[in-house]
Amino acid sequence: MLKIRLKRLGRKKQPFYRIILIDSRKKRDGKAIEEMGFYNPLNKNNELNIAKINEKLIQGAQITKTVKQIIKKYYL
């Protein structure tokens, strides 16, 4: 099953996340199938490709709660 979830990057106490499409059985920071944007909770710099996310959701991918909240907060 494919999931749209966060991949953690950045230094200690300075997180930076990429929003990725990945197989749900892979580890959190594993190789992504496709990158769909990024989220920086410290600077509030966010860039998501909403069209790609909608396309993958239509194809059957699942979205995590955290990514869903990010989309609601910044893009609705």
Residue pair 30/22 in contact (Cβ under 8 Å)? The answer is: yes
Query: pTM to 2 decimals?
Result: 0.87
User: Could you say which architecture CATH assigns to the domain 2-75?
Assistant: 2-Layer Sandwich (3.30)
* Nearest alpha-carbon partner for 19 in 48, 50, 42: 48
- If DSSP codes are grouped into helix, strand and coil, which group holds residue 49? coil
Give dist(CA 45, CA 25) in Å, integer: 29
pLDDT tens-digit profile, the chain (76 residues): 999 999 999 999 999 999 999 999 998 888 999 999 999 999 888 899 999 999 999 999 999 999 999 999 887 7
